Amino acid sequence: MITVETTDATVRVTIPKSEVPTERVNWFVDSLRLEAIAGRSHLTEDEASRLADEIKAGWWAANRHRFIKAAE
């Protein structure tokens, strides 16, 4: 049985290994960490959008050759 204990400062979740696969627990914990990081961020939506565009452009520049053959 999954249990949840709450104090003024923390929440403790106990998950028996037999009830949830380790990969799923890791995904859950990673999601919580990402949420915590996002909550501390001072990045505006516009800044995040520009950053995402830069990342996509960089990825495309590095990987374009895998999808489009160069003219000979």
Q: What is the pTM of this model?
A: 0.59
- Sequence length of the chain is 72
Distance CA 56, CA 43 (A): 18
Contacts (Cβ under 8 Å, ≥6 apart) of 1: 16, 19
Please tell me the predicted confidence (pLDDT) of residue 71: 72
Chain mean position to CA 62: 22
Residues whose CB falls within 8 Å of the CB of residue 12, separated by 6 or more in sequence, listed in order = 4, 5, 6
Q: Give pLDDT, residue 72.
A: 63
At 3 the pLDDT is 97
Quick one: pLDDT at residue 69?
A: 83
Sites in the chain below the pLDDT cut of 50: none
The residue behind tokens 């380790």 is: 22
